[in-house]
Structure formats: C-alpha cells, structure tokens
Amino acid sequence: MLKVAVLAPDPIVRFGIKAFLEKSIENLLVSEFENLGHYQGQQVNSSYGLVFADLGIYTDKFRHIMELKASFSNSRLIVYDMGATFEDGIHYLKHGAQGFLPAISDIKVLLNCIETVLTGQFYLENVDVHLLLKLLFQKKGFKAVNTFRPKLTPRQNEVALLLANGASTTAISQKLGLQMSTVSTFKSIIYRKLNVDNIVELGSVLA
C-alpha cells in the first residue's frame, strides 16, 4: 500500500488532492496535515512513500524543502506553488524535491508526475529536467551527476561497482564471464550515463 502525506494550509486543497488520488490509485492511504509543524506535533509513526507539499505561504521556500526532506527522509517529495516561475521549479528540484507542479488542477498531469517520481526520476512538466539541471550545476561549478544519478541496468551497476573498487577490465571479464570488448563497452556507457571521466569520479558518484 502506498502511503501519501499531503501538507497544505488550505483544507480545500488537501481534500481535493486526497479525492484526486483516492479516485485514481488503488491501495492508497492518504494522511492530511496543515503544515510540517502539524505533522511533527501529531507524532505520526508512519513511513510515507510520497509527500505533497504546498510551498505557497513560505518566504524561504528552499529552506522549507530541506526541512521537509529532513522530516520525510525516505519519501519522494512533490511540491507545488501557484506563484512560482519556471526557474523557481528548477531550484526546488535542486534543493531536494523530486517533482514540481505550478498548480494541481489536471488529474492526468498529477498522475504522470506521481508515476515519474515514484520510479526515481525527476518531474517538471514537458521539460528535460536532467539536461536543465546539468546546465544549472555546471554554471555554478558543480557536477549534476553528484546529485542526480541516472539509473543503470543491473549488469551495468555490477560492472560500475567493480570498476570503482579498482578491478581491471581483464579481471571484470573473468569474474563476470564477459568478453573484454563487452566490458569496455559497458564502461563507456557507464561513464556517459553518470557523466564521469575517470575511476575517481566514478567512485565518488557511487559512494
């Protein structure tokens, strides 16, 4: 069962999101909270797979996102803010949210956002988020890969871990029963997916 927490000061918004979700998703349990303080005061002993949070009333919205992530450390976070710009949405993702919506009015968009976020990806409607975040981090002197890690296949992940631990192409070939050329191909794919140039950077990403 997917447990969802909805944090919004407006009870109509909370009810609307809950109704949307319960109508569209089976095996769902939705809990409503006025804000983060309300959630903390309830001393809820439950782990939520997904959290929706309204950022509209907060002045320091980036800080609030980080506080939400600290309180819901194992949850995927979707934030919405009717007054936000496109650039704001990018920064919300940078500060810890996995999904951003400027409003919650279209059930198809909402469900698409949920599906995307629950599969471990980032959601910003009709945008190549990974490309934008990569550009954003590069401008600030960071590597986007250190924060956002594309999903490797099980075999690619196996090869990546061996490489990061110092195994040579020959050793990996023998251990996994692969041709050396296949290992080299995997290595190139892994480097490209994770946007790294050497073993040191690979080890840092996988740490």
Residue 122 contacts residue 113 (beta carbons within 8 Å): no
Q: In which band, very low, low, confident or very high, does the pLDDT at 145 lie, cut at 50, 70 and 90?
A: very low
Residue percentage of the chain with pLDDT more than 90? 20
CB atoms within 10 A of CB 155: 12
In a domain, 144, yes or no: no
If asked whether residues 53 and 123 sit together in one domain, one would say: yes
206 vs 98: which has the higher pLDDT: 98
If asked whether residues 14 and 68 sit together in one domain, one would say: yes
Residues 168-195 pLDDT 10s: 889 999 999 988 888 988 888 888 888 8
If asked whether residues 92 and 171 sit together in one domain, one would say: no
> Among 139, 158, 184, which residue terminates a domain?
139
CATH number for 99: 3.40.50.2300
> Among 95, 120, 139, which residue terminates a domain?
139
| Segments forming the whole domain that contains residue 159 | 149-206
CA distance 180 to 49: 41
If asked whether residues 131 and 166 sit together in one domain, one would say: no
If asked whether residues 131 and 153 sit together in one domain, one would say: no
> Among 96, 114, 139, which residue terminates a domain?
139
If asked whether residues 121 and 50 sit together in one domain, one would say: yes
Domain count, the chain: 2
In a domain, 184, yes or no: yes
Identify any residues that bridge with 32 across adjacent strands, giving them in sequence order: 6
Q: What pLDDT does residue 66 have? A: 92
In a domain, 198, yes or no: yes
How much of the chain is helix, strand and coil, in % rounded to 5?
A: 55, 15, 35
